[in-house]
Chains A and B, each alone.
Chain A
Amino acid sequence: MTGRQKTFTLGGIHPEENKLSANAPIEVLPLPKQAIIPMGQNLGAPSKPIVNRGDLVKVGQLIAEAGGFISANIHSPVSGKVLKIDNVPDASGYKRPGIVINVEGDEWEESIDRSVEIKEEIELDGKEIIERVKEKGLVGMGGATFPTFVKLMPPPGKVADYLLINGVECEPYLTSDHRLMLEKGKEILIGTKILMKALKVKKAVIGIENNKPDAINHINELAKGYEGIEVQPLKVQYPQGGEKQLIKAALNREVPSGKLPIEVGCVVQNVGTAYAVYEAVQKNKPLIERVVTVTGKAVRKPSNFMVRVGTPVQELIDAAEGLPESTGKIVNGGPMMGKALTSLEVPVVKGSSGILLMQESESRRKPESPCIRCSKCTYVCPMGLEPFLLAKAAKVGRFDIAEKELVMDCIECGSCQYTCPASIPLLDYLRLGKSMVGAIIRNRKK
């Protein structure tokens, strides 16, 4: 790693990394007594239950179908009896439709290959891969939870020439992708090959920030055995895991405002997704478990767990030796983009990458003071926006200005608010601006 290290060029911040659980190997968490499976686990339409109360289900059995084109199937992560189909708590703080299953034993669908052997040879063809990925309920595992198969079908007229695998993990604290790369490197590379085949691309780049030199070396070593896959070390900078930022950093291509990565010939998938693709395609295994980091400054045993979807957060915290007395906030995800939870009953879902326990003293926002027009928010914005201006426009209801000043380009990375010396909750206003402008645009199209 000599010379200028690659990274994205516009904006960016470097918060304390705090990767406390980086050296904790992935542990398999015992099964929960009850699995709570929300129907809204993916971006897009929620899934529709196809089981009834009292049904007996096996691990891997389809229990809910995609509720639209942009939606995903859900398979049972446990075996047992369907207790109820009702509203269940989810990370949003609301109760929404879900399936609750009382766990009995651990009986799997026979079609799933549970052997530990690594299967190299890819038998399915491109179309079959996409079908399989769709059938097995795969969604983006970096947190955005966009259905994976949709990204594998570029719209007519668009072709991909590069697959980018996101191993950046730029959020402070989180280490689930890091551990996965160290422990399931081979599977990730085969998963990458499978994705390349589905997309018909010859080249793939795995982007990893160089605060994970062990992962860079390991994947680099393994990648020698796979044609067309290259590892790109990146200088640590948040939010490098953002799709547009990663493409800029690794390939120096700039996705036009308002467009998707495919516009510049790229498809981005997370390393966790590549692993899930391997399991779905080679082992016929649906997306029913994932790696979740449990961490925080006061956590006694910062850990990485392999967890079945539907496991309540409480059980993960217990396994990390309990909730510290000082806890004041529990975040589902990383500290920059995660969501604060209202209760510990909330279950792990396909997109949960970490549970961050923040101490009381770190939990509250600092008091807001007037904007001193220092432009620091503008300097750090990775999208080249003027957060102070957009926030003000949203605050006073001038959504026309917010739209003209490109509020819809905001990726909600929080860099502006993190940096603001006046501690203005800029992102609160930006989210308001985005949702209002989004509604205005939808209305106009009608």
Chain B
Amino acid sequence: MTSADQSPVRGADVIIIGGGVAGLSTAWQLKKRGLSVLVIERQQLGNGSSGRAAGLLGQLRGTKAATKMLMDGLQVVYDLEKQTGLEIFVQTGSIRIAETEERSQEIRRLVDMGRSIRFPIVDLEIDKLQERLPYMKVDDIIDACFCPTDGHIQPAELVQAYVKAGRAEGVQYITNCRVEKILVEGGKGVGVQTAQGEFRADFIVNSTGPWSYYLADLSGTSLPTAAIGHYYLTTRPTDKVHVGKRSPAVRNRHHRIYSRPESGGLIVGMYEAEPDEYNIEDLPHDFDMSLMKAARDNYNVALLIHQAQQRFPWINERTPMTITSGIMTFTPDGKPFCGKLPDVEGLYHCAGFSGHGIVQSPAIGTIMSDLITRGETEYNISEIEADRYFELPELRDRVEVKARCADMYGRYYGQIEGQSS
């Protein structure tokens, strides 16, 4: 990685602020289209949310547009694997389960939608469930479906692959360099101010994850994202329970949990109703997400363990495990913001992935570079346009934004998909 003083680059066609998966994917795609690209990261590449993620890839989402994006993204991942020789995607298949009539209907709606766009789905007999998941309690499950092409993306490998591929194309990366200000002249973003001086560009991308609203503030505009805490546990393999590498991921919305295999143990994460909220601007400048730890009596961790136990009865507070604590970026509707806002020309936002940035990032890179180089994209992006809340004055108020984002996080597994918006 070059440091700014030695580097001849003091600008580029595009400056990408934030070296998480969103920024790295966008940088690589833009460079492939011939633009010069400079990524500026306050710490190490991938050390923000991207370094904490579980990486679950469930392609069956509430809408066709969202599902299509994930299906295309997976093709990008396969290309990246070929190009870099890294194993990024682990295809385990994934299972959605329902223990109530409402949840069963939710699954049926998703299955219908998925089949209408030829997404492979297998109906699963309940008695076959136990065969596939010997370590899961199944006696209260009334419906399930299996998506064989799902699995998980290994976040560290994805970050590495983006950088390897990007570097091969000629993307420049500057690390340990915090952007202090986005320079706006005559209503247009023209560069950034950092501890290592100024850098100039025609296009600037704000892909700073949990910091995105703060960076937007610094450039005099406003982006309604919020920083929300999230936990998952990883059990260690034991003599009694060994979770195979290809054991399917599970989504159990009724209990608000998801799971997937990890190194012979099991990852279980939870979307609790009342998440921790963070003010990213109050954290020290050198705040390092990889050092976050949960207290022994953390309520949400206790809740996570409790919920995990409902589905995996062998898990309890004494099970040897590690707790991963991180910060996600949420938006009021759980969809990211991708594109420009009307008040600052040349400044593009790419943030707010609401717990799904790892798996959305491959397609998002294409979408962002479409928008920057052509001003349009073949993708249906009406749900993720950056300016969709721009006219709402209440979404300029931090208190209101935080409340709505936390509420969205709480409803993420809480609500029945396909019933409300």
B partners with A: no
Chain B residues with CB under 8 Å of chain A are none
Chain A residues with CB under 8 Å of chain B are none
